[in-house]
Amino acid sequence: MTTNNSIQQQIADLVAEEHQLRARLATGEITEPAENARIAELEVQLDRLWDLLRQRRARAEFGENPNDASERSAREVEGYVD
């Protein structure tokens, strides 16, 4: 079962990976294109997780079951417009 804590841990893990990538780029362990490609993937994953966490919090706030929230597709999440 997914919980807010498990989602937050996934977010923290992805942010840590992002920091590691930037450090590896700075030391020349990876190329900029490789770093950029993985960072782009991480950003999409992070957006999806933040969206899921917001859905869960909103459901809980309004007396609904947070477990009814579902992770949306990258296309849907990345297609949001302010």
What pLDDT does residue 78 have?
Answer: 87
Tell me, yes or no, whether 50 lies in a domain: yes
**Taking the model in full, what pTM does it have?**
0.89
Q: What is the pLDDT of residue 1?
A: 73
Render pLDDT for 33-63 as a digit per residue (tens, 0 to 9).
999 999 999 999 999 999 999 999 999 999 9
What confidence score (pLDDT) does residue 79 get? 84
80 is a domain residue: no
Residue 21, domain extent: 4-75
Give the residue from 64, 63, 52, 67 showing the smallest Cα distance to 11.
Answer: 52
Residues in the chain: 82
pLDDT at 82: 55
C-alpha–C-alpha distance, residues 69 and 46, integer Å: 16
* Mean pLDDT value across residues 5-29: 97
Residue 81 lies in a domain: no
Q: Would residue 82 count as lying in a domain? A: no
32 neighbors 21 (Cβ within 8 angstroms):
no
In a domain, 60, yes or no: yes
Count structural domains, the chain. 1
Q: What is the pLDDT of residue 81?
A: 63
What is the per-residue pLDDT across 65-79, written as a single tens digit (0 to 9) for each? 999 999 999 999 988
